[in-house]
Amino acid sequence: MNEVILVIGASGQIGTELVVRLREMYGESNVIAADIIIPSYDVMEGGPFELLDILNKKQIHNVIEKHKVTQIYLLAALLSATAEHYPKAAWELNVTGLLNILSICEKHNIKKLFWPSSIAVFGPRTPKDNTPQVTIMDPNTVYGISKQAGERWCEYYHEHQGIDCRSIRYPGLIGYKATPGGGTTDYAVHIFHEALKKNSYDCFLAEDTTLPMMYMPDAIDATIKLMESDSTKISVRSSYNVSGVSFSPSDLAAEIAKHVQGFECTYTPDERQQLAKSWPRSIDDSVAREEWGWQPSFDLKHMTSDMLANLRY
């Protein structure tokens, strides 16, 4: 069957890179980018784009009918820091938006859906090191609560409606092609830009805040690998733990300083520190490795040199 893929939230940090990769795989005209804002030049010029609000069911229906969509990647969400400021809007977009898409999948017989969760589904009582796939989940952030609800809804729709829902609990993502959209881990992108512009950076997290992180090429690989796997290999229908590399702001600053002479990082933790404090330090992703062969390629050293090489270019 000829797949037609709709990527909603295509103008964001992940969508900017994922759409380009999907178009290489499935053909430019078979990947429809959609968002409420205009995407990057590459996404806009590389294939079809639709202005689409996931809170408007009629619009979604029209786009699905127009393009005969067979798969959806739903990336639209409010991220952790922004969600804390706008709790109701975050619930509406992150949970009602997902429910809109799940019910539309059911109605239009769209069998395959990718929806990302986050390490924010874990909370203060979750084991912080090597956090298992199944463990205590007591998120105490607006974003984490919405992602945990989303995981349960995906599992429910898989069980009751047979929708092939697939999901990854992304760690904090780092890439050079797009700016991050209001998360707690955004510092790890800002620091590169400021290092090259000003030779200094004032970090909004404390220097020893170790978090699970991942370079964008690994995140895109994980997404594609999961979506391309035979469904018999997918036992987790809530969301898979995947791990890239864990580091703190001071680890990252020290690695950047090896390439940017005289770079200095200072630390002025703000309210985002509280969010980061509730999340794991490292993730056990053995289930994803065993079931669908997940393996990251980038460690801190290689990610840092690749980021700087691309930002300097």
Site for ligand NAD in 185-214 (CB under 6 A): 185
Residue 143 is a catalytic residue = yes
Q: Which of 73, 143, 170, 215 is catalytic?
A: 143
Q: How far apart are CA 254 and CA 271, in angstroms?
A: 24
Is residue 184 near ligand SER by the rule CB under 6 A?
yes
Q: What angle do CA 106, 151, 144 make, to 5 degrees?
A: 135
- Least distance (Å) from ligand SER to the CB of residue 195? 20
Per partner kind, with CB cut-offs from 5 to 8 A, the member of ligand SER, ligand NAD, none near residue 75 is ligand NAD
The residues, ordered by sequence, that sit 6+ positions from 306 with a Cβ below 8 Å of its Cβ are: 215, 298
Residue whose CB is less far from ligand SER, 31 or 79: 79
Assign 273 to helix, strand or coil: helix
DSSP state of 92: I
Residue 76 contacts which entry, ligand NAD, ligand SER, none (Cβ below 5-8 A, type-dependent): ligand NAD
Alpha helix positions (H), the chain: 15-26, 41-45, 57-67, 80-85, 87-91, 97-108, 142-161, 187-198, 216-228, 249-257, 272-277, 286-292, 300-312
How many CB atoms neighbour CB 189 within 10 A?
22
Region near ligand NAD per CB under 6 A, out of 24-32, 33-41, 202-210, 266-274? 33-41
3-state secondary structure of 114: strand
Binding part of the chain for ligand SER, among 59-67, 159-167, 178-186, 250-258 by CB under 6 A, reads 178-186
Shortest distance, position 119 Cβ to ligand NAD, whole Å: 7
Least distance in angstroms from the C-beta of 256 to ligand NAD: 19
Residues that bind ligand NAD (CB under 6 A): 8-9, 11-15, 35-37, 52-55, 75-77, 79, 93, 116, 118, 170, 172-173, 180-181, 183, 185
